[in-house]
Amino acid sequence: MPLVYQSTRDENNRVTASQAILQGLAQDGGLFTPIAMPAVSLDFDQLQQASYQEVARLVLGAFLDDFTPEEIDHCIRHAYDDKFDTPAIAEVVSVDGHYNLELFHGATIAFKDMALSILPHLLTTAAKKQGVTNKIVILTATSGDTGKAAMAGFEDVPGTEIIVFYPHGGVSKIQELQMTTQTGQNTHVVAIDGNFDDAQTNVKHMFNDVALREKMAARGLQFSSANSMNIGRLVPQIVYYVYAYAQLVKQGVVAAGDPINITVPTGNFGNILAAYYAKLIGLPVAKLICASNENKVLTDFFHSKTYDKKREFKVTTSPSMDILVSSNLERLIFHLVGNDASRTKALMEALVEKGEYSLLEGIDDSIFDLFEAGYADEQATATEIKRVYEQDHYVEDPHTAVASAVYVAYRTASQDQTPTVVASTASPYKFPRVTVEAVTGQAPADDFAAVDSLVELSGVAIPKAVQGLQDAPVRHETVVAAQDMQTEVERYLGI
Ligand SMILES: *Cc1c(COP(=O)(O)O)cnc(C)c1O
């Protein structure tokens, strides 16, 4: 019996892993979620010697159990190769009393590469398995990093088109150029006059639009999603937590079985949910620390058990976390209410209708005990970048700095000395102006002047992803109103 992936909003909507990956989002608006964890044997005496690819084979094989071992292997080989600038794929480095898990060694220097370099292969393999001959149209809302990482993964992959929406003015110059200079015959980038939540809401709306789906099908097209709502994004993210623990065993930081904490700078709640799943399959995790920026809706949720999105949206220096509706939290909610789809659906409807919901009774409180939550405001984030630099000559990007600031505050308050992994989600080269200003106190003239300063400050060479960006031709210049996103999709696809 293959593992069951069930929609969080309909207990009768149950599919296998490959079907879930192909659909992306459930048509009822829910998210496909495993209702039981697969058995995975985590033998760290052995895993400490394993390569990233070997750990991936173990974890992906268990979760994506209707793929053959050969199919899994094919996907891993095409994903985790020399697109990454280190053979380790992810690095675990000691920084100021914690361990930064560097997830930014891929093609676009943000952690999204970890999953998006394999998703296109999982998706096209799944389509073949399911006998699908339609062209797959990937529709993606991005707060800055997903879009580029998804296009890098899908560029010129036969049988696919990818359309990316990002908030105009809501991303860094480097992020914007990375997207607007994207090559590939099947890539389309659109800026919207609106924020990330507007982009995400309209993408979800298009997915759930039956008339649009029928119109697409008549032309041999179907949607799928590269957003972290796709289980094909989430499962590859479990891998690096297992890998990081194995590295800590190898480095002698912990003995196999000793607990660690994991701190994650959180936006859409995908990365930290993967850490939760790593715990559920047996990774010894004591605390999961959910770090937010000034858009601290999750901090408030974990403290009050009420999710309240009715607040001002703030544009911060950690834009990939500027989110008020964290889509993947729906999966945690589903588990919190005992995998009850009708209750989850009612809560999600309340969020749309009233802007909030509460979980005051009938929930699994052990989940709330596992999570700690905190936030770092803009000042605290900049201060943390400078502090870490002065301690260790290591430059953290603003997202990582949010996490490390929240972790240090937690450690100080709790006196918890458990070895802690901080998910380091972007290279400082992706946000050079902010990081250089935080360290030096002086605003660089522009992103590219900042890149030059960063070389001097950090001693880390300029990554391939940034070299040449300044002179690359801009290929995508469309800007539309948020409510015109669907019109733009129809125009691009010619439907
Ligand atoms: C996407 C992103 C995050 C947030 O991750 P979620 O899985 O959405 O919680 C944090 N940092 C960076 C750099 C990102 O790109």
Q: Report the separation in Å between the CA atom of 321 and the middle of ligand 1, taken as the mean of its atom positions.
A: 6
269 lines ligand 1 (CB under 6 A): yes
- Interval 153-195: pLDDT, tens: 999 988 999 999 999 998 888 889 999 999 999 999 999 999 9
287 lines ligand 1 (CB under 6 A): no
Can you give the pLDDT at residue 361?
Answer: 86
**Which of 109, 321, 406, 427 maximizes ligand 1 atoms within 8 Å of its Cβ, making it the mutation to test the pocket?**
321
Helices (H), 251-306: 270-280, 297-304
141 lines ligand 1 (CB under 6 A): no
Burial class (CB in 10 A: 0-12, 13-18, 19+), 287: buried
Token look-up 């209708």 returns: 353
106 lines ligand 1 (CB under 6 A): no
* Mean model confidence pLDDT for the chain: 95
SS3 content of the chain, % helix, strand, coil (to 5): 45, 15, 35
- Interval 419-475: pLDDT, tens: 999 999 999 999 999 999 999 999 999 888 999 999 999 999 999 889 888 889 999
Handedness of CA 275, 276, 277, 281 (dihedral sign): positive
- Interval 191-218: pLDDT, tens: 999 998 899 899 989 988 999 999 999 9
Atom 8, ligand 1: which residue's CA is nearest?
268
**Which of 320, 329, 424 maximizes ligand 1 atoms within 8 Å of its Cβ, making it the mutation to test the pocket?**
320
Residue 144 has pLDDT above 90, yes or no: no
Confidence of residue 481 (pLDDT cuts 50, 70, 90): very high
The least confident of 20-29, 113-122, 351-360, 398-407 is 20-29
Q: Which residues contact 377 (CB under 8 A, 6 or more apart)?
A: 293, 294
User: Are the C-beta atoms of 402 and 318 separated by less than 8 Å?
Assistant: yes
E runs forming strands in 376-441: 420-424
Specify the pTM: 0.94
3-state secondary structure of 394: coil
Q: Please state, in angstroms and rounded to a whole number, the distance separating the CA atoms of residues 47 and 248.
A: 11
Can you give the pLDDT at residue 94?
Answer: 97
